[in-house]
Amino acid sequence: MGGGVIVVGGVVAAFIITRSITKPVSKLIGFAEEISQGNLAATAVAYEGRDEIGVLTNTLNEMRSNLQKMALAVTEAVAIVSSSSQEMSAGAHETSVSVEELASTANQFAGGAVDRLSSNAQDMSASAAKTSELSQQGGRLRLGGPSEQ
């Protein structure tokens, strides 16, 4: 009977030891799976032991915390880049509007200058025609007028 108690005691001890290892490892596996699926809000695993399971628990909890910090930093960087992009877009739009206004002003100036040159040319042509007419009238007066007498 003494041998049977030892065997039963050994089986119970093996069960307790196995359970003390597999239960925390199962929790860590579930925790790691949640993190791998992007759930950085997964609840940290509590384990106070200083054995390998404790080291693994602390490492996984620290990894989750660092990934949360990294995700926050990326989110903040994206917000800054987005804001800068919007500012650049607005600046480019303002520049485009200014260039269009300058082009319009230049066209108006050039159009006005062409109109003035055309008007001046017409005035000069009219003056030349008037001068020619007056000189022809003056020539007729001399030929047919009182100065020949």
Between CA 53 and CA 49 the distance in angstroms is 7
pLDDT, position 149: 44
The answer, as to whether pTM is greater than 0.75, is no
Angle between helices 2-36 and 52-144 (to 10 degrees): 10
Tokens 């159009």, located at residue: 111
pLDDT, position 60: 95
Between CA 67 and CA 72 the distance in angstroms is 9
pLDDT, position 148: 45
Which helix or strand (DSSP H or E) is residue 38 part of?
Answer: none
pLDDT, position 57: 95
Between CA 27 and CA 113 the distance in angstroms is 85
CATH superfamily of this structure's domain 2-105: HAMP domain in histidine kinase (1.10.8.500)
Q: Flag residues of the chain having pLDDT under 70.
A: 1, 138-149
Token couple for 11 = 């089986």
pLDDT, tens digit, for every residue of 54-78? 999 999 999 999 999 999 999 999 9
pLDDT, position 142: 57
Domain boundaries, the chain: 2-105
